[in-house]
Amino acid sequence: MNCIRVSVLMAGFLLAMGVAQAKSPAAATDADLLARVERVLAKTPLIDGHNDLPWEIRTREGGVDLNVDHSKMPAPADAPKDYVGLMTDIPRLRAGHLGAQFWSVWIPATTTGPEAIKTTIEQIDIVKNMAAQYPQAFQMAYTADDIVRIHKAGRVASLIGIEGGHQIDNSMATLRQMYALGARYMTLTHTLNNDWADSATADPQHDGLTTFGRAVVGEMNRLGMMVDLSHVSPKTMKDAIAASRSPVMFSHSGARGLIDHPRDVPDDVLLLVAQNHGIVMVNFYPGYISQERARWDSDHAAEATRYNSPPYVGLYIGQPERAAAAMAEWERLHPPPSVKLAEVADHLDYIRKIAGVESVGIGSDFDGIPITPDGLDGVDKYPALLVELARRGWTDADLAAVAGGNMLRVMRANEAVARKLQATEAPSMAKIERDKDHASQ
């Protein structure tokens, strides 16, 4: 009798294990995983932290028709060799189930002073005109609740992010007016240092944030404008997190523990992000997610300089045809390494491991990067990335968090802090002149 009971129990256990294996992520088909992802995205808006389409609209002659799937359009006859078609359009946004987009109102880091303010306002105007021109697809959003409401209505909630502190021209009043125009985050630097913060890709000048820089962070907290730490140096990251009373964000970065690139976030900063309840939104640029590709990019740049770097350097200086031929031969012998969608998922996995699943999001940098990983060439491919995460065992709750739930939490926290601060604090009147001595150190 006992033997029979044991046999029955063992049979039941094996049957249960078989069912569990059939339902495990490893055994699920891609169709099953995609169905899971689509169910998640029906309830949770997928929020991308960074897209540079506004600058593409500004610079492409003849305008841009976003109702057209640009992935199916041939390159113009006079297009340069490195021509890249648009990565963003309405048909592919629909296919990618995008719920909300922070449109970057980027301007060059070399554009400073009053011209920077003017150009930034023109970029904001492009975003608002885009929403007005395609009302069936886009609607301007300014709060987390706006995102949820617009997503339920079947449109893409459109938000504005400023990509560099140089765009306010060292003026608290300008910062406030940018918020009034709709900007809901500001990246503290772009590729160059500004007068009050060090960039990740320039020699340190201020040892992080100056006193005025910390005042900027404080005023952003008071306004409810999120502090974006992509592009800044590790010391600036730490200074800003220490100064901020609200959760911070990285709108488009990766994990430096996987690739030693200054645009990515070191492990010790990831731990601070977790303590701050902030978010790192993972960038898709191959050179920031693959060490092999980063080395190739560096070698490619060095080779180009070796052949022709006016006005003084280069084997073929003043001979552009010979330089171009030599470069083409080098590229033939040294093809760029392929970078896969799975490597983006590796960064999401890594940040989750260090900072927790509540601290990770997606910040593609579409239309701001010249190339993408294989399988992530446009805004229709977000579900493929989430399918890869599901295949790795991410639960529906995890997928909802990375897709948009974490960003909604960060936004709501910034909004709540702003309400409290506005009840007790006056607008900052800090001036950059107070930091002249510090900035020269």
Please give the positions annotated as active site: 50, 52, 163, 190, 231, 252, 365
Are residues 51 and 104 in contact, defined by beta-carbon separation less than 8 angstroms? Answer: yes
Which one, of 46, 88, 96, lies nearest residue 68 by Cα?
Answer: 88
| 169 close to 117: Cβ distance less than 8 angstroms | yes
Q: Distance (Å, rounded) from C-alpha 141 to C-alpha 182?
A: 8
At 205, which amino acid appears? Answer: Q
How far apart are the C-alpha atoms of 178 and 38, rounded to whole Å?
Answer: 35
Helices (H) and strands (E) in the chain, counts: 18, 9
| DSSP H helical ranges for 234-277 | 234-243, 267-276
When computed from its CA atoms, the radius of gyration of the chain, rounded to whole angstroms, is 24
Region of 154 please: left (phi>0), alpha (psi -120 to 50) or beta.
Answer: left
Angle subtended by helix axes 172-180 and 211-223, to nearest 10: 30
Q: How far apart are CA 424 and CA 343, in angstroms?
A: 46
Cβ-defined contacts of 115-120 (< 8 Å, 24+): 116/166, 116/167, 116/168, 116/169, 117/167, 117/168, 117/169, 117/171, 117/174, 119/167, 120/162, 120/167, 120/178
Rounded Cα distance, 397 and 399, in Å: 5
Angle separating helix axes 291-307 and 320-333, nearest 10 degrees: 150
Q: Give the C-alpha distances (Å, rounded to integers) separating 384 from 24, 27, 270, 389.
A: 18, 17, 26, 9
In the chain, helix, strand, coil percent, each to 5?
A: 50, 10, 35
Closest CA to 168 of 158, 181, 155: 181
CA distance readout (Å), 163 to 100, 200, 307? 18, 14, 33
Q: What six digits make up the tokens of 196?
A: 């009050």
